[in-house]
Amino acid sequence: MKTLSIIIPAYNEALRLPITLEKIKIFFESVKPFSLKEVIVVDDGSSDNTSLIAKDFTDRLPVKVVTLNKNCGKGAAVRAGVKAAVSDWVFIYDADAATPIEELINFFIASQKSDIVIGSRVGQSDRTVVMSRWRRFVGWCFHTLCAPLLPDIADASCGAKLFSYKAAQTIFSEQKLNRFAFDIEILWLAKKLGYKIAELPVEWFAVPGSKVSIVRDSWEMFWSVINLYWRALRSRLQKHIWAILVAMLIGVIYIAPHLYFAYDLGDEYQGVYMSGSYDEVFYYNLIRQVYDGESVVLNPYLVEYPVTSISSFYRPIEYTIGLVGKTLNLSITQIAISSKFIFPGLIFLTIYLFGYIISGSRSASLVAGMAVLLGSELAPLNLDSAWRTLILDSPFHSFLTYNRPVNPQISVIFFFSNLSLLAQVWLSPHLKRYVVLAGILTGLLAYIYFFFWNFTLILIGLLLLAAIFKKDKLLIKSLVSVLGLSLVVSLPFLFKMLATLSVGIASVQKNYVLTHRFIVEKVILLPLLLLTTVYAWNYLMTKLNYPSKRVFVWFDQAKFYFLYILIWAGFWASNQQMIHGHEVQQHHYHFMTNIPVFIIVTVIIGTIFLNQYFNRLKPYLMGLSIVIIIWSGISVQTSSYRFLLPLFTNSQAYAGAFNWFNQNTAVNEVVYASRELEELVPMYTHNAVYDALHASVYPIPLERLEHNYFLGMMLNGVTTGQAKEYLYTNRNDVGQRIFEGQYWRAVCGSFGCFPDTVLDDLVTKYQLFVAKPLEWQFRRYQVDYMLWDQSKHPQWQLDRLGFLKEVWCKDKLSIWRF
């Protein structure tokens, strides 16, 4: 029979202690779940005769008295008692016997499968808990404050706790808090050290005579908890120090080309930074509007059409960045460059967190995060591109994926944070805080980035179907709560989206295509087939009674199913049109959700495979993978820098013109500029433009987009006789700038795959357009200035146009006023 030491911390307990010792004596006379070896009464500097009363029981119980010279606190008293204990098991028991000693029978049963058993007074409908409302409220507040430290424990402060001797000695050797929150501390240490904890429902009765004063002691309670949070934070930082270092390394790789560019140019650098990712300037044009006192959701290009686009109702990230930048007096360039260090590192940490929750492996989480941030360009599995990247001759001419601001550079942080919350809901559906946080964040994704929100709703729906299949009522309830709360949070977005049906079919078509086609994505189908094969094999081996032949046997099945369902979510996000007939710009799912999901799942499954079959080779293979991933990221950044260097070196000449506009023009005066300048003017000045590539993403009449295109042709000297050849030669350009491009690219694969009759119609319209004078065409819409780069567009010949007056000139760059 296992031996037991009972430890009773006592401070001025002369009245209650003898009653408690008598109850222990009677209990062990009739029932012996353990062999009672000793009852250690720790006198915590009492001013009454607590020690004498305890010693009086030595003829009836194996009482041992440990005396502290002064009152040190319950934590110190228990620690002294544990140090003196010599039994197989150690039972910590309060002197007031609020938990009946008879509960020790249940503690004994629970100890057969656990290292530690703790009493719980929370949520036990079949157990009697007598407690004042005030004490219950204070206990709830204290538990809520401490809950993040012990997410799986409902009641950490019940005085009855049973420890194995090894667990007790190990834990209390590291325990430091002497007074309040020591219960939280010892259980936090137990979880940190990997001990198995069982929480046992107990009866509990409030006993008069408590020495704790809520008013007097609450401040010390609070600081004890803060102390514990600080220790937990330091412990986490030490445990995951490599993740922090890698996050900083990734930030350095992302920011390095931009810092080097400024250094490389020296005095020639004028603040026009190297914006080398897709749509980068577009997002900073939105952010610039906050600087100018404009609404971030309005069209930043054409003043005549301020109405927002269908897919961008709120833009909270752009507004927040603009507000911070304006408040701190930062330039757009300073915001752009600092963001390239800060946010990629944060993205890595959120992916690392998600990977760690699912895999429990720091190495797998490190590789997964690094692969997403530095290796996404290799995900399409093109061997030629991969090889060229590895030999520093990357075919990519755009910086790494997460250089792109806002989406995905910031929005993806919310996306992966929410995936972590949903994983916690899936694994621990009883924890309400994850349910609430997941519901709120899912709803917020609607305002942040539609495609992340839509993907997440699909994932929640699939998880719910799986929960129904499992007949897990608690999980069903939790997922329904997440879904319901998310819909409540996103209601304003949903109402506004429904209202946009009135904007007309032309702008709606820019956002979806009517089709039921099936889209094949290698990055989704490959892991889907792999995981389906693993699932089928394990199911078959279980049915045939060959459990040893199953693969990934040590990997938690709930986590495996979550990954499996996550891949299915990617499949249905790209193929939802098969159900409702509306394809919603599928490339967003491909690049923003499916590629990172593919990488993370592949790395985690690959790590599990190595653990089971090639454990000795695992460190070497993981190390090689890390080197290849880092090298790949550096290669993409280096190749992109070399490609973009001439362009942005020349762009420094534009800084003088931008400064002139900011000093000499009013907000939203309109500038006509060439294509290399039309997106930069709204970014670096407070001016609007006459035309811009991204203007077509807003609900602008087709006639205005055609007008802008024809005006460019007319300036470039395209005659009516040359119009057909010009339009057919620049077919993709026409599709992108007039029809926004996404609709036709989704329908048939390119911006310009519309019918020839469309081009023929444009030829006729251009012939009518050039019949009017150039000045008349310009003045149909607001225009105040023209910015002319004579070195690139000598054919414009603005100096021959009588309706323009030159107001600024430097080298080959000049500004003309209408």
Residue 471, class by beta-carbon neighbours within 10 Å (0-12 exposed, 13-18 middle, 19+ buried)? Answer: exposed
HEC assignment per residue over 369-420: HHHHHHHHHHCCCCHHHHHHHHCCCCCCCCCCHHHCCCCCCCHHHHHHHHHH
Among the three residues 206, 237, 268, which one is the final residue of a domain in this structure? Answer: 237
The model's pTM is 0.83
Q: Which of 104 and 205 is assigned the larger pLDDT?
A: 104
In a domain, 196, yes or no: yes
Domain boundary among 203, 222, 237: 237
pLDDT grade for 501, boundaries at 50, 70 and 90: low
User: Are residues 798 and 804 in contact, defined by beta-carbon separation less than 8 angstroms?
Assistant: yes
Structural domains in the chain (count): 2
At residue 385 the predicted structure's pLDDT band, cuts being 50, 70 and 90, is confident
CA-based diameter of the chain, in Å?
119
pLDDT tens for 461-488 read: 999 999 999 999 999 999 999 999 999 9
Q: Which segment of 87-96, 400-409, 604-613 scores lowest on mean pLDDT?
A: 604-613
Q: Assess if residue 390 is contained within a domain.
A: no
Q: What is the pLDDT of residue 790?
A: 93
Q: Answer yes or no: is 502 within a domain.
A: no
Higher pLDDT pick, 672 / 700: 672
Question: What string of DSSP letters covers 334-358?
Answer: HHHHHHHHHHHHHHHHHHHHHHHHH
pLDDT category at 746 given cuts 50, 70, 90 is low
Residue with tokens 């819909």: 487
- What share of the chain has pLDDT > 70, as a percent? 91
DSSP string, 594-612: IHHHHHHHHHHHHHHHHHH
Domain end point (choices 237, 267, 300)? 237
**130 domain residue, yes or no:** yes
**206 CB-near residues (< 8 Å, 6+ apart):** 98, 130, 131, 132, 135
How far is 812 from 798, CA to CA, in rounded Å?
12
Lowest mean pLDDT among 57-61, 181-185, 318-322, 479-483: 181-185
Residue 464 lies in a domain: no
Q: What mean pLDDT do residues 758-785 have?
A: 94
The pLDDT-based confidence of 128 (bands split at 50, 70, 90) is: low
Give a yes or no: residue 221 inside a domain.
yes
Angle ∠(674,678,682) on CA atoms, nearest 5? 150
Sign of CA dihedral 468, 122, 140, 142: negative
Q: Of 704, 635, 687, give the one whose Cα is nearest residue 300.
A: 687
Distance CA(150)–CA(732), nearest Å, equals: 58
Confidence band, pLDDT 50/70/90 cuts, at residue 88: very high
- pLDDT score of 677 more than 90: yes
Q: Higher-confidence residue: 748 or 569?
A: 569
Element (H, E) at 543: helix 522-543
CA distance 333 to 287: 12
Q: In CATH, what number is assigned to the domain containing residue 219?
A: 3.90.550.10
Residue 736 has pLDDT above 70, yes or no: yes
Alpha-carbon distance 540 to 530, whole Å? Answer: 15
Residue 727, domain extent: 701-772
> pLDDT tens-digit profile of 248-284?
999 999 999 999 999 999 999 999 999 988 889 999 9
Question: Is 215 part of a structural domain of the chain?
Answer: yes
**Is 593 among the domain residues?**
no
Q: Who wins on pLDDT, 762 or 523?
A: 762
Could you check whether the bond before residue 151 is cis, i.e. omega within 30 degrees of 0? no
Residue 610 amino acid letter: L
> Could you read off the pLDDT of 170-185 as tens digits, one per residue?
999 998 888 777 888 8
Q: Which residues pair with 198 in a beta bridge?
A: 117
